[in-house]
């Protein structure tokens, strides 16, 4: 007799506990498969300490393969579930597709960042639901303090040292508390020139901090935050977010380069595609965590609306404590439904209290209803986390000890960029990779869904493009690759590439001016208008098709073929002669750039074989002679100052690095 197949989607608190309990109950009598985008379980409550540099990232992760030896791990994201055929279709981390069959399916996909219809938030804010977002925030905060220390103007320094956190719940309160300590420590070692101090703001429309918890815990957290210097504003939120700051609901404009979005979570959009009864985005289940009418389907954690038997008419909240307990009951009921032991049990719970780590020796806790603050609360809080973690306890305790006696290492690792962690994503646990596979774009929902192009680290002026397509000019996008031996002195920075900013000098200086991105994409001439003979450049699509340089660049648009523009640093393989274009500033002057040796197809040098005035190329039509001799109205070929860019380099759009 074949063993039953149990499929678990998601390895968060609910999914991980389900897999671990099922492995113990079935003892090899069932095939257990766990589908998850990453190979680790993430202990979310300690994520603020990763962002503050207290814990190393791997300390809050537990290997799924090591801790679940009897469970088959499949890396990927669920795309579609066929309930009638009992199959699940998924996409692997490298874009490959796959199908998994099941006899019992447990949905524990977790949650994603909650969105609100506020202008600019999806473009300029970042969430705090996964390890990539925590790593990005740590790098970003460190960078802003370092840039502020070297800033000349006080206004720019103040904007970079202002950090706005929206949402005074569990996560937002801890992020603001740890963040203020982190930046204060940086400034003590590297004081700001103007003598300023980093400013953290905590906003929420609720009347008090931690509104879902006990009032005594709320009062303790509020007092600690204000003593530490956090600007706590209750009854206030963000009305609009811009590149330069945020507009608050009371009308005040706060200049900032950092907006952390911690307003809450929403269930993973995967459950919406099932067409089953929902309750505020969550899948309705009975007290046994089974979906009514689907005996093979169970749901637990944040995607499930589980009836609260202790409070009839309500559902259990979306917290880690409930998700962890859901997982155990779900595993027992799945095993019972397959006849592998035990009996079905409804989910009941009793709160054991909450703990909030405020950094250092400060905390707020109420274990078993006893309200604590100060050092006792700090000891209880850290003891609770060590007991609740399924692994890495010794390493976490060692990091806490080292943080108490040694200064933190405030350095930028540069591993996660701003465009890699958009706010609106169905996979906050996975950083977006340039050119990588899609991330279940068809299942996304909410305001500003699928905004996924590049922005600078300060929350640039917008995103464009397909949900998972990297912005043009980003590393790995294929438009700005610098190959070894190309003569490149340095690659362009992320915001220079995205905005087409000149790399070497001001317009008209002749020092390695670069075409902007839209000029490159459209094959815009660099020196003069079409037909003038002043250094016209063909677009790549024209070059590939053997079109003459003087024709307008319309072939790609009319034929429906996209024009793949080539930018600096890539060998010009389709150019006449096939010689790589050495056009990077700082190295050998390019033969086809102003200021260097005139190229054979540039004005001022020897006429190219496929340019007007030279010998016709073998695959080009013979060009007509110039209609007029050189004169005042028809100047001779030569270097011409560009007119499509401003004279003042400061007129370019500025980005935050």
Angle between the 215-228 and 170-189 helix axes, to the nearest 10 degrees?
Answer: 20
Strand-pair category, 199-204 with 162-166: parallel
Q: Look at 467 and 68; give whichever has higher pLDDT.
A: 68
Q: Look at 78 and 565; give whichever has higher pLDDT.
A: 78
| Least-confidence region, from 252-266, 330-344, 461-475, 535-549 | 461-475
Burial of 617 (0-12, 13-18, 19+ CB in 10 A): middle
Rounded to an integer, the average pLDDT of 179-208 is: 90
CA distance 369 to 355: 11
In the chain, % of residues over pLDDT 70: 66
Provide the mean pLDDT of the chain: 76
User: Tokens 């109950």 — which residue?
Assistant: 25
CA distance 258 to 457: 9
Q: Look at 619 and 219; give whichever has higher pLDDT.
A: 219
Q: Look at 121 and 608; give whichever has higher pLDDT.
A: 121
Structure tokens at 281: 């985005």
β-bridge partners, 279: 282
Hey, what's the torsion of the CAs at 41, 44, 46, 47, to 10 degrees? 100
373 contacts 217 by C-beta, under 8 angstroms: no
Q: Look at 434 and 131; give whichever has higher pLDDT.
A: 131
What digits encode the pLDDT tens for the residues 505-545? Answer: 444 444 444 444 434 444 444 444 444 444 443 444 444 34
Overall pTM > 0.75: no
Give the three-state DSSP class for 97: strand
pLDDT reported for residue 193 = 75
Rounded to an integer, the average pLDDT of 564-589 is: 41
Give the H or E element holding residue 238.
Answer: strand 238-241
pLDDT band at 341 (very low <50, low <70, confident <90, very high): confident
Q: Look at 319 and 189; give whichever has higher pLDDT.
A: 319
Give me Rg for the CA atoms of the chain: 29
What digits encode the pLDDT tens for the residues 60-73? Answer: 999 999 999 999 99
What digits encode the pLDDT tens for the residues 207-242? Answer: 999 998 889 999 999 999 999 999 999 999 999 999
Q: How many CB atoms lie within 10 A of CB 571?
A: 16
The DSSP string of 22-79 is HHHHHTTSSEEEEEESSSEEE-GGGHHHHHTTSS-GGGGEEEHHHH-TTSEEEE-EEE
CA distance 413 to 280: 39
469 contacts 433 by C-beta, under 8 angstroms: no
Residue 585, pLDDT above cutoff 50? no
Residue 388, pLDDT above cutoff 70? yes
pLDDT reported for residue 101 = 97
Q: Look at 624 and 254; give whichever has higher pLDDT.
A: 254
CA distance 99 to 197: 54
Rounded to an integer, the average pLDDT of 429-434 is: 82
Give the three-state DSSP class for 565: coil
pLDDT reported for residue 285 = 97
pLDDT reported for residue 53 = 93
| Least-confidence region, from 396-410, 543-557, 602-616 | 543-557
Give the three-state DSSP class for 220: helix
β-bridge partners, 80: 89
| Least-confidence region, from 42-56, 87-101, 212-226, 510-524 | 510-524
pLDDT reported for residue 436 = 61
| Least-confidence region, from 104-113, 267-276, 410-419, 507-516 | 507-516
| Least-confidence region, from 84-98, 185-199, 223-237, 331-345 | 185-199
Q: How many CB atoms lie within 10 A of CB 393?
A: 14
CA distance 329 to 31: 19
Helices (H), 190-214: none
CA distance 585 to 616: 31
Angle between the 320-337 and 13-26 helix axes, to the nearest 10 degrees?
Answer: 30
CA distance 207 to 348: 30
**Residue-wise over 62-76: b if at least 16 C-beta within 10 A, else e?**
bebeebbeebebebb
Beta strands of 250-338 (E only): which ranges?
Answer: 253-255, 258-261, 265-267, 278-279, 282-284, 297-299, 304-305
Single out the residue of 214, 174, 167 nearest to residue 351, CA to CA: 214
Q: Look at 331 and 633; give whichever has higher pLDDT.
A: 331
Hey, what's the torsion of the CAs at 263, 265, 269, 272, to 10 degrees? -100
The CA distances from residue 426 to 266, 273, 444, 508, 557, in Å, are 10, 13, 6, 46, 34
pLDDT reported for residue 270 = 93
Q: Look at 600 and 311; give whichever has higher pLDDT.
A: 311
pLDDT reported for residue 437 = 55
Helices (H), 282-351: 320-337
Hey, what's the torsion of the CAs at 429, 435, 441, 446, to 10 degrees? 70
Residue 90, pLDDT above cutoff 50? yes
pLDDT reported for residue 151 = 84
| Least-confidence region, from 86-100, 315-329, 559-573, 626-640 | 559-573
Residue 474, pLDDT above cutoff 70? no
The CA distances from residue 506 to 148, 421, 510, 587, 653, in Å, are 25, 33, 8, 18, 14
Residue 383, pLDDT above cutoff 70? yes
Q: How is the chain split among helix, strand and coil, in percent rounded to 5?
A: 30, 15, 55
Q: Look at 217 and 439; give whichever has higher pLDDT.
A: 217
The CA distances from residue 227 to 206, 230, 232, 294, 381, in Å, are 20, 8, 11, 53, 20
| Least-confidence region, from 216-225, 278-287, 368-377 | 368-377
603 contacts 639 by C-beta, under 8 angstroms: yes
pLDDT reported for residue 337 = 95
pLDDT reported for residue 298 = 98
Residue 450, pLDDT above cutoff 80? no
Structure tokens at 449: 């869904």
Single out the residue of 609, 591, 599, 605 nearest to residue 638, CA to CA: 605
pLDDT band at 435 (very low <50, low <70, confident <90, very high): low
CA distance 559 to 555: 6
pLDDT reported for residue 213 = 86
Rounded to an integer, the average pLDDT of 378-404 is: 94
pLDDT reported for residue 1 = 59
pLDDT reported for residue 573 = 43
Q: Look at 452 and 405; give whichever has higher pLDDT.
A: 405
CA distance 231 to 162: 10
β-bridge partners, 181: none
Degrees to nearest 5, angle at CA 200 with 197 and 206: 155
257 contacts 460 by C-beta, under 8 angstroms: no
CA distance 388 to 327: 14
8 contacts 18 by C-beta, under 8 angstroms: yes
pLDDT band at 134 (very low <50, low <70, confident <90, very high): very high
Structure tokens at 354: 């909450």
């Amino acid at each position: 007799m074949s063993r039953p197949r149990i499929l678990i989607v998601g390895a968060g608190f609910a999914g991980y506990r389900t897999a671990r309990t099922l492995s113990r109950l079935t003892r090899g009598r069932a095939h257990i498969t766990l589908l998850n985008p990453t190979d680790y379980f993430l202990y979310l409550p300690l994520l603020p300490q990763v962002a503050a540099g207290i814990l190393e990232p791997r300390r809050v992760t537990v290997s799924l393969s090591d801790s679940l030896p009897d469970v088959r791990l499949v890396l990927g994201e669920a795309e579609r579930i066929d309930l009638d055929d009992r199959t699940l279709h998924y996409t692997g981390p490298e874009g490959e597709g796959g199908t998994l069959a099941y006899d019992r399916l447990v949905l524990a996909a977790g949650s994603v960042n909650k969105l609100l219809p506020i202008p600019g938030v999806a473009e300029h804010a970042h969430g705090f639901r996964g390890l990539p977002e925590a790593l990005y925030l740590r790098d970003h905060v460190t960078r802003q303090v370092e840039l502020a220390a070297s800033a000349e103007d006080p206004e720019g320094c103040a904007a970079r040292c202002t950090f706005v956190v929206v949402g005074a719940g569990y996560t937002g309160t801890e992020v603001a508390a740890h963040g203020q300590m982190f930046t204060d420590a940086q400034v003590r070692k590297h004081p700001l020139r103007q003598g300023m101090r980093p400013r953290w703001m905590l906003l929420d429309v609720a009347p008090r901090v931690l509104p879902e918890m006990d009032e005594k815990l709320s009062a303790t957290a509020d007092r600690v935050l204000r003593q530490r210097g956090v600007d706590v504003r209750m009854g206030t939120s963000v009305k609009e977010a811009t590149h330069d700051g945020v507009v608050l609901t009371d009308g005040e404009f706060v200049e900032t380069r950092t907006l952390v979005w911690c307003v809450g979570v929403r269930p993973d959009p995967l459950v919406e595609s099932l067409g089953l009864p929902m309750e505020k985005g969550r899948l309705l289940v009975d007290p046994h965590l089974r979906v009514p009418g689907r005996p093979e389907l169970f749901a637990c954690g944040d995607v499930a609306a589980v009836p609260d038997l202790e409070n009839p008419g309500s559902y259990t909240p979306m917290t880690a404590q409930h998700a962890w307990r859901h997982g155990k009951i779900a595993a027992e009921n799945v095993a019972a439904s397959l006849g592998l032991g035990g009996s079905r049990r409804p989910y009941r719970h009793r709160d054991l209290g909450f703990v909030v780590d405020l950094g250092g020796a400060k905390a707020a806790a109420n274990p078993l209803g006893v309200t604590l603050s100060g050092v006792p609360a700090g000891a209880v809080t850290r003891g609770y986390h060590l007991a609740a973690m399924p692994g890495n306890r010794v390493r976490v305790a060692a990091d806490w000890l080292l943080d108490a006696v040694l200064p933190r290492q405030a350095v930028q690792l540069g591993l996660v960029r701003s465009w890699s962690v958009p706010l609106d994503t169905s996979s906050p646990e996975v950083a977006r990779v340039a050119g990588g596979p899609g991330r279940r774009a068809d299942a996304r929902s909410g305001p500003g869904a699928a905004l996924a192009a590049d922005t600078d680290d300060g929350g640039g002026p917008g995103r464009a493009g397909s949900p998972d397509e990297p912005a043009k000019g980003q590393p790995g996008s294929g438009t700005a690759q610098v190959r070894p031996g190309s003569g490149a002195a340095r690659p362009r920075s992320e915001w220079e590439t995205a905005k087409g900013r000149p790399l070497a000098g001001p317009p008209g200086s002749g020092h390695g001016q670069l075409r902007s991105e839209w000029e490159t994409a459209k094959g815009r001439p660099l020196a003069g208008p079409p037909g003038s003979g002043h250094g016209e450049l063909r677009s790549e699509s024209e070059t590939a098709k053997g079109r003459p340089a003087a024709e307008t660049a319309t072939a790609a648009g009319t034929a429906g073929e996209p024009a793949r523009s080539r930018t600096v640093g890539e060998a010009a393989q389709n150019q006449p002669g096939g010689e790589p274009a050495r056009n990077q500033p700082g190295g050998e002057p390019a033969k086809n750039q102003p200021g260097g040796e005139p190229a054979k197809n540039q004005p001022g040098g020897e006429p190219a074989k496929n340019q007007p005035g030279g010998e016709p190329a073998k695959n080009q039509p013979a060009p007509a002679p110039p209609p007029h001799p050189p004169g005042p109205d028809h100047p001779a070929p030569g270097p011409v100052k560009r007119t499509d860019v401003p004279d003042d380099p400061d007129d370019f759009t500025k980005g935050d690095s």
